[in-house]
Amino acid sequence: MAFMSAARGSLQSAIAAALVTIVGGAALAVFGTVRVHSNDARVAHTYDVKSALGGMLASVTDAETGQRGFIITGDAEYLQPYTDGTAQSQRALDALEVLTRDEPAQQSLLPRLRREVARKLEELAQSIEIRRTEGFDAAQRVVRTNAGRATMAQVRTIVSDMSREADALLEARTRAAAVSLRVAVAFESITAAIALALVWIAARASERSLKEANTGSQLARRLAAIVESSDDAIIGKDLDGTVTSWNSSAERIFGYGAAEMIGQSIRVIIPPERQSEEDHVLASIRRGESVAHFETVRVQKGGALIPVSLTVSPIRDDAGRVVGASTAARDVTERHQAESALARATLEAEQANRLKDEFLATLSHELRTPLNAILGYARMLRTGSIEPERQPHALEVLERNAISLSRIVEDVLDVSRIITGKTQLNMRALDLTPVIDQAVATVRPAAEAKGVYLQSIVESGVPPVFGDPDRLQQVLWNLLANAVKFTARGGHVQIRLTPTSAHVDVVVIDSGVGIAPEFLPHVFDRFRQGDSRFAREHGGLGLGLAICRHLVELHGGRIYAASEGEGKGATFCVRLPVLIEWADRLPDVARDHPTLAEPVE
């Protein structure tokens, strides 16, 4: 009896230690999972802040669009975007107040943003009221003061600052999510090992139950309660794969009740294409080997697939013979989702880093080419190695490469101004015809040297726009230069100037290499270039189109790109608003722009 009491005491101590261990492991696993969810939520929270910033800026822009429509037409129906945009901008600001309450840096910028948005909306409301009470001319004078444009620039600058703060938070929180995920996986592995150990203890207790009825009965009940309360599906089966036990977590994970599965083959929950996995598992069990942390896919009762991590161990009788197997199956859906989110974030970070490296390599090459030419000819001129009759040619080469170098540096500076929000425009009423003529004249020598037909079509009655002539010429020169660059000898490049309803469109069409469908959405991104073969052949930093988009948007316009695919040419359209006093003179018609599928005359 003393021996039985001592054995019973030792067994109870072992059970207590096991319970403490599994509770501690489960607590650690729950803690890790909570940390993963918390960090994922913080990442999602940061995306919500960026989305709210974009929504607020879009709402103010919509309100401005409604104000313009009403001033031009005097029709109250055009005020709907203004009304909706005003309300939505306030809701967006309220949402930002809540979303950024734990971010002091962004909270410090929010009062300024509220003031500038309120100021902008007040200016819009005043111009609308003046249009109602004093008429079109009075409202036009208010608009032409450009006070609203300066206020909108302040709004965009503050939004840019807050977006940079959000990007910094996003990077830090993504790193924290990765660390939490690794900790959660470690905790899950520990808990699974503990669960497997408890299954083994339960099996051993069952073997001893015939010899130690009372003690074995108590131990079996305790272990059965542990198995039943486990978050993992714990399944017993014989060497043929027939289910002998099925706990409540197995019911929850797979959807089948114990009455449905006990006596049935475990292959019921294995997809047809993975049946061979069970053959390998049973073969390992018959050899007395365990299968640990095997990640695979199983089928729920409703037919849905679920990712699981399996640990399978042999069950032995008193003689040590393998008589069955115990399986601990863990649902790893949430972990896979977290891993997928982390993989996407990592891929985006790697892609950004790769684009940066490619840009730096391209920049080094593009700078080296004109610098080598300048350095070489300068040395030859200094040493008198060039004959007098060839010196004008040498000076021409120096000038051409200096201009090329200046354009590269100016592109990089433009991108810096774009990022910091310091781009400045010299705005005035502007006829686009001479701007187009100057851009065409600049590009024509390159087109003629390459054998590309360059055509300019300017329709009559095109109204003036409000813009910076130098910056708009930079946009059109860039589009034309790209069109000539990527069009083969004998090809066509056409630029058209046409009026539409309240806008002027400048369309550049070429019969060149075209744009691949998968690259078309990224054509205006910074540092992005299409096929690397063309990039190496024609040079360039991948900044020109990004600069064009920013400059066009600063003029209140939009730029579009279209292509039917590689080898089928490309079309770029710059759409700019006309001066308010000209808007009511234009016919309200839609216009379909031609492509080079139509003949170029």
Q: Which residue has the higher pLDDT, 570 or 165?
A: 570
Q: Same domain, yes or no, for 407 and 523? A: no
Between the CA atoms of 229, 232, 233 and 234, what dihedral angle is there, to the nearest 10 degrees?
A: -70
Residue 599 pLDDT more than 50? no
pLDDT (0 to 100) of residue 150: 84
Write out pLDDT tens, residues 47-100.
Answer: 888 788 888 888 888 888 888 888 888 888 878 888 888 888 888 888 888 888
Q: CATH number of the domain that 286 lies in?
A: 3.30.450.20
In a domain, 128, yes or no: yes
Q: Same domain, yes or no, for 131 and 246? A: no
Q: Which of 312, 331, 350 is a domain's end point?
A: 331
pLDDT (0 to 100) of residue 536: 47
Please state, rounded to an integer, the average pLDDT across all residues of the chain.
Answer: 80
Q: Same domain, yes or no, for 513 and 381? A: no
Across 235-243, average pLDDT: 94
* pTM tops 0.85: no
Q: Same domain, yes or no, for 342 and 323? A: no
Residue 462's domain comprises: 428-583
Question: pLDDT tier at 457 (50, 70, 90 boundaries)?
Answer: very high
Contact 82, 129 (CB under 8 A): no
Q: CATH number of the domain that 408 lies in?
A: 1.10.287.130
Q: Which of 331, 346, 367 is a domain's end point?
A: 331
Q: Same domain, yes or no, for 323 and 378? A: no
In a domain, 535, yes or no: yes
Q: Same domain, yes or no, for 578 and 442? A: yes
- Kindly give the pairing relationship between strand 503-510 and strand 570-577: antiparallel
Q: Which residue has the higher pLDDT, 587 or 50?
A: 50
Q: Same domain, yes or no, for 132 and 256? A: no
Q: Same domain, yes or no, for 523 and 567? A: yes
Q: How many helices (H) and strands (E) does the chain have?
A: 16, 12
Residue 228 pLDDT more than 80? no
Question: What is the b/e burial string over 29-65, where b = at least 16 CB atoms within 10 angstroms of the residue's CB?
Answer: beebbebbeebbebbebbebbbebbebbbebbbbbbb
Q: Same domain, yes or no, for 313 and 269? A: yes
Across 423-433, average pLDDT: 88
Q: Same domain, yes or no, for 374 and 319? A: no
The count of domains in the chain is: 4
In a domain, 13, yes or no: no
Q: Same domain, yes or no, for 433 and 504? A: yes
In a domain, 599, yes or no: no
Q: Same domain, yes or no, for 579 and 478? A: yes
Q: CATH number of the domain that 479 lies in?
A: 3.30.565.10
Contact 57, 213 (CB under 8 A): no
